[in-house]
Amino acid sequence: MFQDKNILLGIGGGIAVYRMAELARLLIKQGANVRCVMTQSACEFVTPLTFEALTGEAVHTDLFDLTSERAMGHIELARWADAVLIAPATSNLLAKLAHGIADDLLTTMMQVCDAPVLLAPAMNSSMWESAATQRNLHTLKDDGFSVIDPRSGALACGEQGIGRLPEPQALADAILPLLLPQSLQGQHWVINAGPTIEPWDAVRVLTNRASGTLGARLAQYASAMGASVTLIAGVGTPNLGCDVQRVDVQTGDEMLQACVQVAQGADVFIGTAAVSDFRFSEVSEQKIKRGDTQQLNVQLAANTDIVASIAGMEHRPKKVIAFAAESEKHIEYAKAKLERKGVDAIVANDVNNMDSDSASGWWIDNRENGINEESIEKCNKMQFSQEIIKKVMELKP
């Protein structure tokens, strides 16, 4: 997610510093270059050595340290960053940043930093609610800082309330929008994902191996680019913690109802869900007993094609995109589905992508001069979804 991005962590002095070590690891694992600046009080909680060991980079702590200024001066460090996260942002740090006080390395750097900055405040709930902190936050937001609010729960001071630093993954998710153009702002995207589950009796179901990862990634990325996203999620679809409106469903019919309800007038609808083509004609409330039966015939009824229904709606979304998971003749079958379902584009891929971390496929859309077909090389599902979003944006409504 953060391949080759330079992320500067400005670490303040609060008990939640220990969580920043986990975050540094997570960002590095996802391809980021991470450097850390720690305030003096942060160093009281965790030593710089922890962050040096995790990032493989010198940790900067002192404005007047000639050795580290020679290695990479504070101005250079501020220019190096593609994005900055200040966490835990203590009430003292917020106050200094709001008033332009530059009395240590971190606050001085922030005065020369052009990169987008995310503040993650964490403190005792009374400090958080205090008039001064709220006023400073207001000023900082006006000044263009992004803020991820603290979570509520048990605080280190023994009290309950708002003030906890969000989980490392939530912090990483909140950094992503800082690195992306907000080109989808004002748009509503509806994405369905995952498998559906059709009950047969009290315990048995008909389902498939879809993981919902690709749909969840598409939702995460579209939301990080500023879209308001509704994710209609089949069972097992990962919760990527991002800022999407999630509606959990089980059966194909539930998914249909949920999609129809929200897709009216949307900008984009993407059907990544592996909707069961059939459901049981009769569902037994009791567990069906085997008895002496050696063979059992069950009757299935066809489920409604969701993406085709959305494409045929009166106030249909401006762009409707379907997926076609095939085991052979991928392009040929996908082209037929493009016509049959009345969608604007279709992404053909192999059934083996279904429960894998990577994907490859073909983007096929209908243009005035005929059918356009582009291949998408094998990559991880985050990159695959970025590629699809790019193509959706290029698609003429």
**Rounded Cα gap, residues 322 and 177, in angstroms:** 26
Q: How far is the CB of 204 from ligand C5P (least distance, A)?
A: 20
| Residue 273 found at the interface with ligand C5P (CB under 6 A) | yes
| Residue 324 found at the interface with ligand C5P (CB under 6 A) | yes
| Residue 335 found at the interface with ligand C5P (CB under 6 A) | no
CA gyration radius, the chain: 25
| Residue 1 found at the interface with ligand C5P (CB under 6 A) | no
| Residue 275 found at the interface with ligand C5P (CB under 6 A) | yes
Q: Which one of 36, 43, 113, 157 is the catalytic residue? A: 157
Q: What amino acid is encoded at 104 in this protein?
A: D
Q: How far is the CB of 171 from ligand C5P (least distance, A)?
A: 32
Q: How far is the CB of 277 from ligand C5P (least distance, A)?
A: 6
46, two tokens = 């965790």
| Interface size with ligand C5P, residues (CB under 6 A) | 13
Nearer CB in complex with ligand C5P: 106/229: 229
Closest C-alpha among 337, 260, 252, 254 to residue 303: 252
| Residue 323 found at the interface with ligand C5P (CB under 6 A) | yes
Nearer CB in complex with ligand C5P: 193/240: 193
CA distances 302 to 207, 235, 305, Å, are: 14, 20, 9
Residues 293-322 that bind ligand C5P (CB under 6 A): 303, 305-307, 322
**Rounded Cα gap, residues 396 and 318, in angstroms:** 9
Q: How far is the CB of 262 from ligand C5P (least distance, A)?
A: 14
Instruction: Give DSSP secondary structure letters for 19-76.
Output: HHHHHHHHHHHTT-EEEEEE-HHHHHHS-HHHHHHHHSSPPB--TT-HHHHHHS-HHH
59, two tokens = 């940790």
Closest residue to ligand C5P using C-beta atoms: 306
Tell me if residue 379 is catalytic: no
100, two tokens = 């332009």
User: Which residues are paired to 164 by β-bridges?
Assistant: 151
Name the segment binding ligand C5P (CB under 6 A); options: 63-71, 107-115, 128-136, 269-277. Answer: 269-277
| Residue 216 found at the interface with ligand C5P (CB under 6 A) | no
| Residue 389 found at the interface with ligand C5P (CB under 6 A) | no
CA distances 39 to 13, 64, 74, Å, are: 6, 13, 13
Q: Enumerate the active-site residues.
A: 157
Residues lying near ligand C5P in the complex (CB under 6 A) are found at: 252, 271, 273, 275, 277, 303, 305-307, 322-324, 337
